[in-house]
Homo-oligomer: A and B are copies of this chain.
Amino acid sequence: MVYFDSAATSWPKPPEVWQAMEHFIKKVGASPGRAGHRRTVEANQMVDETRELLAELFNIGDHHRIIFTLNATDSLNLAIKGLLRPGDHVVTSSMEHNSVTRPLYTLASYGVEVTKVACDGQGNISVRDIEQAIKPNTKAIVMTHASNVTGTIMPAAEVGQIAAKHNIYFVMDAAQTAGVLDIDVQKLNISVLTFPGHKSLLGPPGTGGIYIREGVPLLTLREGGTGSGSETPTQPEMMPEKYESGTLNGVGVAGLGAGVKFLRRVGMKKIRDQEMNLTKRFLDGAARIQGLQVYGPQNVDDRVAVVSFRMDGYKASQVGERLDKEFDIACRAGLHCAPDAHRTLGTFEEKLIRFSFSYYNQPSEVDFALNALRQIAASRPPAVTTLPVK
């Protein structure tokens, strides 16, 4: 099987990820932050270490300001609904995932004003357009770091500067970049960073996180048991307890920590280079397949390892089905939970096929897939020029 769906969830995971999970579930087991016996102490140490690893990765001064969540969607709901109030204005892009657009759509019905800055047909946004969208009541810019459809890397540094200049918050969705691109929350002036644990950070599903810069007035969305500060009727103000209610996914966090350690050991640059070599190989090969059209930047420096394309004569779902059934290639055909992005590209009706590569993919797999696509292109059904007689 060729797995080209790592933008949904990365696979395979490094062996140490499930080894850490196995150790946790078999030998630790306890709920971190609860009780004081040695099992919980070990669980606490593991959770704290994972927080520290992530803090170093993102250059976050105080690792307690990282909260573990269910997934990046959970993080984004907290970021968006916790921050914006009726009467606030928010600027976002036309390339966002539903995990941004849907919470904003909900808030719009409560009186939050939303401006979606239109991107071009390759998914690029104009920094000037973003700045021009800012109004006196603008509270935040909420934007992805890279499109999950075209792989286009957004100008995070410039957006961070605009946010600083206008004294507004910058919420960045790192769903496609955490673990592959350098993210320095201080340099990028990020107020709130949301990330999944199970994509390029190589942790298991059921993990995600959010960094909340000190002073960002985020309401809690999930209140409950916090292990410490239990006596108050409200959430404790202390971090991470304030936003981290209920039993943590300890086994998942153990795996996430191991994933981040793998990243550090191998080196993010090496991983990024491998992914972009695969991406370039695919882009070069795809350019020579007649009737195959790739969306997003041609220059691999401007994108992550996510490539979406269409093929003449086929619906995206037909190509996806043939890749799966005839070639055992796992990819994703459809809207990729980002209908706005597809509207921007003009592919909302037709939809696209998406390949996403990981460090574990091989050049031979790319060649195999290119060959499959060549065969599919060659066996294209003839266009119907006359209707059959009934």
**A contact set with B: CB distance below 8 Å:** 1, 3, 5, 8-9, 11-13, 17-18, 21-22, 25-26, 29-31, 34-40, 69-74, 76-77, 97-103, 105-106, 196, 198, 204-208, 220-227, 230-235, 245-252, 255, 317, 320-321, 323-324, 328-339, 348
A71 CA to B206 CA in the complex, in Å?
A: 11
Least CB distance, A208 to chain B, in whole angstroms: 8
User: Are the C-beta atoms of B74 and A246 separated by less than 8 Å?
Assistant: yes
Question: If the complex has contacts A9-B30, A36-B324, A339-B231, are A99 and B25 also in contact, measured as CB distance less than 8 A?
Answer: no
- 28 examples of A-B residue contacts, CB within 8 angstroms: A5-B34, A5-B40, A8-B31, A8-B34, A8-B247, A11-B29, A12-B29, A13-B25, A13-B29, A21-B21, A21-B251, A35-B330, A36-B324, A37-B323, A70-B70, A73-B223, A97-B225, A99-B225, A101-B233, A102-B224, A102-B245, A204-B249, A204-B251, A206-B207, A227-B337, A230-B335, A230-B338, A252-B252
Hey, which chain B residues are within 8 Å of A38, CB to CB?
Answer: 1, 324, 328, 330
User: Are the C-beta atoms of B103 and A224 separated by less than 8 Å?
Assistant: yes
User: Are the C-beta atoms of B26 and A12 separated by less than 8 Å?
Assistant: yes
A102 CA to B225 CA in the complex, in Å?
A: 8
A226 CA to B335 CA in the complex, in Å?
A: 11
User: Are the C-beta atoms of B71 and A246 separated by less than 8 Å?
Assistant: yes
User: Are the C-beta atoms of B35 and A246 separated by less than 8 Å?
Assistant: no
User: Are the C-beta atoms of B8 and A18 separated by less than 8 Å?
Assistant: no
Least CB distance, A129 to chain B, in whole angstroms: 22
A377 CA to B336 CA in the complex, in Å?
A: 63
Least CB distance, A327 to chain B, in whole angstroms: 10
* Contact pick for A223, options B8, B30, B106, B247, CB 8 Å: B106
* Contact pick for A247, options B76, B205, B230, CB 8 Å: B205
User: Are the C-beta atoms of B9 and A247 separated by less than 8 Å?
Assistant: yes
Least CB distance, A320 to chain B, in whole angstroms: 6
Question: If the complex has contacts A205-B248, A206-B206, A247-B205, are A5 and B225 also in contact, measured as CB distance less than 8 A?
Answer: no
Q: Which of A9, A13, A22, A37 has the most CB of B within 10 A?
A: A37
